Amino acid sequence: MRPMHHIHEAPFAPLAGAEPTMVEVLTLTFQLFLVMGLLNFVVANP
């Protein structure tokens, strides 16, 4: 196997690893709400 194959799969390693912790879930959820809030603010105020 060529080394480049492993480098290509590196970014996807965490996704296939252990299940996410509660802190990671809360952080992703908070970021999602933050982005949605910013989008609504921009759309409501052209």
Residues 16, 18, 20, 23, Cα dihedral to 10°: -140
Q: Could you tell me the two tokens for 22? A: 């509660």
pTM of the full structure: 0.47
Instruction: Please state the three-class secondary structure of 5-39 as a single string.
Output: HHHHHHHHHHHHCCCCCHHHHHHHHHHHHHHHHHH
- 45 three-class SS: coil
- pLDDT tens digit string along 1-46? 555 555 555 554 555 556 678 888 899 999 999 999 999 988 987 6
Domains in the chain: boundaries: 18-46
Q: State the pLDDT at residue 15.
A: 53
